[in-house]
Structure formats: structure tokens, C-alpha cells
């Protein structure tokens, strides 16, 4: 059973990694799409067409299948080890997984809007939105690795601190980009 478990766990982790890869990259493509929409013709049309194709391929060939397979293997692991559902760290992890699914579904909504040339968000908003997956990843990894030894106060402070650092990084990048548009 241990070997069987390790294969399922390995597949779960592989698909979690590829799911996150898609979730890290898709908002970047949204940013480029939003900024391309502000260009003049024919650059706008050329960039928009290419970004729609790139986004569609990333979303449907990598991100969605990875999300489904990561979830499938996670459920399989929980069926093999239902006692995990009694662990407090697993309850919190599942809350973060639900947040990740909500984040994924919101990205799907934004994807569909941009495919229809509906630009409803600014590139600045998307730069901040892009950090959502990072915060969830940090929270889940620390929960899974530290489990019962996780100190909740330090965890909450750490996630808030990471969020602050990410926001400062975004502001710094904006300043650098305003000074040098090619950055």
C-alpha cells in the first residue's frame, strides 16, 4: 500500500505544481492582453490575437487539466487516509484549497471576458491579483509541512507580511517601469 500511496501522492504533487504554474502565468498574460488593448492598430490586433491564443492554450491544455487531476488525486489520497480529515491542519488546508478553486474560477471568468475583448480590469489590478496564488501556495505548503507544529500566530503574521512584501514589490516595479517603460 505504501508504494501505491507514494505514486498517487507523486501524481498529486506533479499536478499541483503544473496547476500553480498555470495560475502564476495566466494573470501575466491578462496583464499583457490589457496593455495590448491600449495600443494602436495594427499592433493592438496582432498582439491581442496572439495573446488570446496563448491564453487559451495555457488555460485549456495545462491549467484546467492540472486542476482536475490534482483534485482527483487529492480525493483519492483522502479516501485512502480518511483520518486526515480529522486533523485540524487539514481543515485549514481545505479552506485554502477552496480559496484556490475560487481564484481559479475567477481567472476563468476573466479569461472568458478577455476572449470576448471585454477589458474590465486594469493592469495594475491584475498585478496585485497575480499574487493571490502565491499567498495560497505559501499557506498550503507551510500547513502541509508543519502540520500540528504550526504556530498560528506566526503563520498569520507571516502570510500578512508576505502580502505586504508583495505589494511593496509591485509598487517598486511600477516606479521602475514608470522611469523606464522597457523594463
Element (H, E) at 70: helix 64-80
Q: Counting Cβ atoms within 10 Å, is residue 43 exposed (0-12), middle (13-18) or buried (19+)?
A: exposed
Whether cis (ω within 30° of 0) applies to the bond prior to 42 is yes
Say which DSSP state 40 is in: P
- 19 within 8 A of 63, measured Cβ to Cβ: yes
**CA dist., res. 11 & res. 77, Å (int):** 11
Q: Does 56 appear as a known binding residue?
A: no
Q: Which residues are annotated as a binding site?
A: 12, 93
Annotated binding site for heme: 12, 93
Amino acid at each position: 500500500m505504501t508504494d501505491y500511496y507514494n505514486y498517487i501522492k507523486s501524481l498529486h504533487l506533479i499536478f499541483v505544481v503544473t496547476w500553480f504554474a498555470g495560475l502564476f502565468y495566466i494573470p501575466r498574460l491578462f496583464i499583457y492582453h490589457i496593455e495590448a488593448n491600449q495600443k494602436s492598430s495594427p499592433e493592438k490586433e496582432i498582439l491581442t490575437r496572439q495573446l488570446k491564443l496563448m491564453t487559451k492554450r495555457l488555460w485549456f491544455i495545462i491549467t484546467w487539466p492540472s486542476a482536475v487531476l490534482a483534485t482527483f488525486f487529492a480525493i483519492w489520497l483522502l479516501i485512502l487516509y480518511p483520518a486526515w480529515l480529522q486533523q485540524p491542519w487539514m481543515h485549514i488546508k481545505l479552506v485554502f484549497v477552496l480559496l484556490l478553486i475560487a481564484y481559479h474560477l475567477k481567472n476563468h471568468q476573466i479569461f472568458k471576458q478577455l476572449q470576448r475583448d471585454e477589458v474590465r480590469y486594469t493592469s495594475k489590478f491584475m498585478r496585485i491579483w497575480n499574487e493571490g496564488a502565491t499567498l495560497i501556495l505559501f499557506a498550503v505548503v507551510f500547513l502541509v509541512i508543519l502540520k500540528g507544529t504550526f504556530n498560528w500566530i506566526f503563520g498569520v503574521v507571516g502570510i500578512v507580511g508576505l502580502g505586504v512584501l508583495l505589494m511593496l514589490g509591485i509598487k517598486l516595479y511600477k516606479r521602475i517601469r514608470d522611469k523606464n517603460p522597457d523594463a
